[in-house]
A and B are shown apart, each in its own frame.
Chain A
Amino acid sequence: MDDLEIIKKQATQQIQSAKDLEALDKLQTQYLGRKGLVNQYLSSLPKEALKSQGRLINQTKQYIDQLIAKRQKSLQQVQQEIDVTIPGILPPIGHLHLITQTIKEIEDIFTKLGFVRRRYPEVETDWYYAEGLNIPKDHPARDDQETFYINPEVVLTAHTSNGQLREMELLKKPPIKMINISKTYRRQASNTHSPMFHQFEGLVVDKDINITHLIGVSNFFVQSYFGSDRQVRLRPHHFQFTEPSFEVDINCHLCKGRGELNGKSCPVCKAGWLELGGAGMVHPQVLKNGGINPDRFTGFAFGWGIERLIMMKHNVTNNLRDLYTSDLRFLNQS
């Protein structure tokens, strides 16, 4: 390391840490002035070295000069005011779809209760979809499920309940606690219905599971998802694969369950309550079909629509089909 390198190193360090323009002026004189360090070095060289070193010395001068100019600019900038209200330079902004976000939310809520998340087939045999769930081929209950068929034995599931039998077969014995989240299909297309939608199916099977547990888990879910002031109630209903079967309602957030607002009936709900979806105690025949002894174990199950939850929570739209739009002006709001 010769002296010139030392000068260069020292200059670099001092110039880059100069506090203000005044200090920078001093450094300018100190290094590049008539009696500056570079010139001192030059004059300390023997005559014969001048030729070989001349170019190097000039490069060093230029280097220090540039360094000072650069520092000057940045010190001047600091002193100048900038308009901090000018918008920043945005990186590209992307968006997770509302359905993805909601599925994640649902999964997280149920994971807290020790449920395991599954995804069972959307294209399913008639056994898992209906027959094994206690819905024989020519049963009127099939009216409720406008089903798409690939062939007489293969359907697109209209509900996520096929996951019940599949989970029982997979685990072979309780305890079972699963949440099956999947795409479902119904032969319908209207303002409020899309031929494809999403459902999540909960299933708990163990010793001594009773109806109050279904209410407890439902309450835990709606309070986590909608807010702690919400609660569920059950009403009688009928599904072939649960006995008894329920319709699960949540109290309305707008009218606080009173059913009226400013003397008019509430625009959102039916008499203070909103329908969330179906649920029930697993039918003994379904437990049997899944290879589980109904005399030893009981269970409950529920199957609710994800788009419905989104509409209830985000006031998205009355038109479920908006969730399946490709219009980025809508999607980029999520």
Chain B
Amino acid sequence: MDIKLPHSLLKEFLDTSAKPEQIAKSLSLCGPTVDRITSYKNDYLYHIEVITNRIDSASAFGIAREAATILPQFKYKAKIKNDPYQLNLKQLGDLPKNSPLNLQILDNSLIPRFTAITLTNTQVKPSPKPVQDWLNLSGLRPLNNVIDITNELTLKYGQPVHAFDLDKIANQQLILRESKKGESITTLDGRVHHLQGGDIVIQDGSGRLIDLCGIMGGQLSAIDSNTKNVLLFVQTYEPKHIRKTSLYTQERTLAAQIFEKKPDPELVLPTLIAGVKLLEQRANATISSNLIDLYPNPTKTKTINLDLNWLNQFAGINLKPTQVSSILKKLGFTSKSITSQVLRVTVPSWRHHDINLTQDLAEEIIRIHGYFRLPSNLPSTTIPHTQTDPLLKHEYQARSYLSNLGFTEIYNLSLVSQDLFRQTNHKLEPKLKLSNPLSGEFEYLRTSLIPSLLSNLDANRGKVAPPLRLFELAHTYHSTKSTLPDETSTLSFITYGLDFFTTKGYLEALAKHLHLNLKFKPLAKKTPPFITKHSASVYYHNHHLGTLGIISPEVTSRFNLNQTVVCADLNFAKLSLQINPILNFKPIPQYPSIYEDITLTSTKPVADLITQLENAHPLIVSVEYLTSHQHNHTFRLEFNDPQGNLTQAKVTQIKNNLKS
């Protein structure tokens, strides 16, 4: 979460010679990141990123505690002051005997610590200007002195506080419980929330909900200009409840963001004491009740043993025991030497949830020492006995080769819309629909790359003159019986303004480059969006690898394309498996070859004629297709005899046998 902290508010808790720039830079290197500083009339504002596990530093005092430890590392003097942990009940003097309210907590697990006290004779009026400035700079709205105090305490200590108008609470009765599904509450921002149930709420004596706990107070019990009796209210809540409620009601208030991250219950009472003192000062209020403080399971102190040898090995440097314990001490940890190399470290209450392992302690010590001061070494690890999947290499070969042939590579999003796939008559899989899409535009994982490539052609109309050659090599997704879908490496390339055989030539060239001998068969079954009669199934032996063909005009017209679109769509994962990792070279023939052209008249597919010629005689070593004219097909044959020189007579004899 990001907080805004005025420099003048930080100075309430920090004595230092360092300037704001220097404070920001030092903090960023060893602690919370200060994203930037903005300056105002007579103040500066730090924009600070507070990380999830350091809710203790989401406040002026928390940042001061970090700064007091970090700044001396950069030779700036720094000390904390006004430490709230020093506040105690003595400072409130003798309290009245009466209880502030009639309280029932129906489930103790919802509320680790609960404190409350009432004040009377409160004079509601605007806050002093400096306080209003702090709130404004921090992104909060000044309202009146009482409400402002609750917000100011949150900014100062990172402990949210709430104040009710006691006279608006029926029978001064509070019942703290989980909400039931269907109950509703109007919060201070005027929004009505229909609750899902399981939210922490407070109901008053007449059964009305007056607080959506940890998120925002209810309107019913709000402080207004006539308020006299104030119920001051400080606690911590069970964090998961708060998070759930805050997310679904979309009330990401500062309080909610703090409560969901387990703030320190030990800070609850000091915050209440500080609040009472401010109400006395600024609203002339006087305490009118005893204090309720329910804290059934106080945080137990936690100790961790830290082995200094381990620490130095983990850090890769040598830190002296004195350095280590001095850093820990400044951060509020206490440490005791058990042996010369082992420290028993006690974790302060505000770091209870965050520090559990020696690694956590190592982080504290090394970050304050300064990660940026560590040397740079390459590990001397041996190389693991494992290989990269050849598919990854083949993908790169195919990409490079296609780009060398003149194709431009495109990266399209894997997420597509239903509309796009409707246009190409491709099927989407309902099982691969996102449950929380950003919009209909990115809703499904794509099962084919072709629709995206067609829209790429459309997008380039009038910008780049045809012919166009595009390709994409990416995963397509296909649901399976198991939990996860197949992610299939897929290669699709598309030409615009070129004919079928030119495009087929590209595919054959790619196959040659990968040393794969592909076979093409007429498309046996309808495969949208291809024209069945102008498309082929692509095979390697009996492995079906994909389709090559002309896209139907019905589809291309939807993409405003008026020239021929030819597309190859290949299961590249399958294709990659057929690539032989080892090339076998044959020796060059010892005797010269003789080349002869031959024309056959046949209605068979040319591919069959080629196979027929290849297998017609052992001395025919290669067959090259030349041209066709109606049913007459011309081929160039290469004859070669490994045993000796071929005679023209022998070749003529073989040729004549072929013709008959």
Contact = CB atoms under 8 A, between A and B. Distances in A.
B374 A234 contact: yes
A296 to B, nearest CB: 12
B460 A123 contact: no
Contact of B436 (A148, A189, A208, A328): A148
Contacts of A194: 413
Interface string A309-325: 00000000000000110
A117 B367 contact: no
B433 A93 contact: no
A190 to B, nearest CB: 11
Nearest to A326: B456
Contact residues on B (Cβ < 8 Å of other chain), bracket:
35 or more
B379 A195 contact: no
A244 interface: yes
* Max count, chain B CB within 10 A of own CB: residue among A185, A235, A246: A235
B413 A211 contact: no
Contacts of B136: none
A263 interface: no
B336 interface: no
B477 A329 contact: no
Contact of A123 (B382, B403, B410, B477): B477
A104 B240 CA distance: 44
A281 to B, nearest CB: 7
Nearest to A273: B28
A327 interface: yes
B524 to A, nearest CB: 31
Contacts, number: 235
A154 B387 contact: no
A206 B469 CA distance: 47
A178 B376 CA distance: 20
Contacts of A187: 436, 438
From DSSP, what is the main secondary structure of chain A's interface residues? Answer: mixed
A85 to B, nearest CB: 24
B33 A247 contact: yes
A290 B391 CA distance: 25
Interface string B585-628: 00000000000000000000000000000000000000000000
Contact residues on A (Cβ < 8 Å of other chain), bracket:
35 or more
A138 B240 CA distance: 7
B433 A150 contact: yes
A150 B260 CA distance: 26
A309 to B, nearest CB: 15
Interface in B102-147: none
B384 A196 contact: no
A272 B17 CA distance: 24
B408 A154 contact: no
A237 interface: yes
Nearest to A95: B408
Interface string A163-189: 000000011001111100001010111
Contact of A94 (B402, B414, B433): B402
Given A123-B485, A195-B413, A326 B460 contact: yes
Interface stretch (B86-94, B151-159, B310-318, B542-550): B310-318
Contacts of A26: none
Interface stretch (A6-14, A41-49, A61-69, A212-220): A212-220
8 contacts: A96-B403, A150-B445, A212-B315, A212-B377, A215-B377, A236-B363, A244-B366, A324-B413
Given A97-B411, A196-B414, A215-B377, 5 more contacts: A119-B389, A141-B52, A211-B366, A212-B376, A270-B35
